[in-house]
Chains A and B, each alone.
Chain A
Amino acid sequence: MSSGTAMVEVRGVHKRFGRLEVLRGIDLDVRPGTVTVVLGPSGSGKSTLLRAVNHLEKLDRGYVRVDGELIGYRRVGDKLRELPEREVLKQRTRLGFVFQNFHLFPHLTVLENLVEAPVGALGVPREQARARARELLSRVGLADKADEYPRRLSGGQQQRVAIARALALEPKVLLFDEPTSALDPELVGEVLDVIKDLARTGTTMIVVTHEIGFAREVADTVVFMDGGVVVEQGPPAQVLDAPQHERTRAFLAKVL
Chain B
Amino acid sequence: MTTTTAQLSLRPPADPTAELPIVPHRRPWRLVAGLAALVLVAQFLHGLAVNPGWDWPTFRAFVFSDSILRAVGVTLQLTAYGTVLGFALGAVIAALRLSGSPILRTIAWTYVWAFRSIPLIVQLVFWFNLAYLYKRIGFGIPFGPSFVSFGTMDLLGALGAAVLGLALHQAAYAAEIIRGGVLAVDAGQLEAAAALGIPRFRQAWRIVLPQAMRGILPNAANEVISLFKGTSIVYVMAIGELFYQAQVIYGRTGRVVPLLMVATAWYVLLTTVLSLVQYRVERYFARGSERTPPPTPWQRLRAAVTEIREKQT
Contact = CB atoms under 8 A, between A and B. Distances in A.
A124 to B, nearest CB: 12
Contact of A103 (B192, B198, B288): B192
Interface residues of B, number: 23
A105 B207 CA distance: 7
Contacts of B198: 89, 116-117, 120-121
Contact of A92 (B197, B200, B202): B197
Given A120-B202, A151-B288, A151-B290, A92 B191 contact: no
Interface string B151-189: 000000000000000000000000000000000001011
A99 B191 contact: yes
A120 B194 CA distance: 12
B188 A101 contact: yes
A99 to B, nearest CB: 6
B197 A90 contact: yes
A91 B195 CA distance: 10
B186 to A, nearest CB: 8
A103 to B, nearest CB: 4
B79 interface: no
Given A99-B191, A151-B289, A107 B196 contact: no
Interface string A81-125: 000011001111101010101011111110000001100111000
A5 to B, nearest CB: 26
A150 interface: yes
A165 interface: yes
A56 B195 CA distance: 7
Nearest to A150: B288
A93 B288 contact: no
Contact of B206 (A99, A104, A116): A116
B52 interface: no
B197 A169 contact: yes
Contacts, number: 79
Nearest to A85: B200
Given A107-B287, A116-B206, A149-B288, A99 B196 contact: no
Nearest to B186: A103
B231 interface: no
A54 B199 contact: no
A104 B196 CA distance: 11
A99 B199 contact: no
B83 interface: no
Contacts of B245: none
B218 interface: no
B196 A117 contact: yes
B210 interface: yes
A27 B51 CA distance: 90
A56 B191 contact: yes
A89 B211 contact: no
Contacts of A150: 288
B210 to A, nearest CB: 5
Interface string A72-86: 000000000000011
B87 to A, nearest CB: 20
Given A103-B192, A106-B211, A86 B288 contact: no
B211 A93 contact: no
B289 A106 contact: yes
B196 A169 contact: yes
A56 B189 contact: no
A54 B194 CA distance: 10
B191 to A, nearest CB: 6
A121 B288 CA distance: 23
A240 B195 CA distance: 31
A116 B192 CA distance: 12
B199 A89 contact: yes
Nearest to A90: B197
A86 B199 contact: yes
18 contacts: A56-B191, A89-B194, A89-B200, A92-B194, A99-B191, A103-B186, A106-B211, A106-B288, A107-B288, A109-B288, A116-B206, A116-B207, A120-B206, A121-B198, A121-B199, A165-B196, A166-B196, A169-B197
Given A92-B195, A103-B192, A120-B202, 14 more contacts: A85-B200, A95-B195, A97-B196, A99-B195, A101-B188, A105-B192, A116-B206, A117-B198, A120-B199, A121-B196, A149-B288, A150-B288, A165-B196, A169-B196
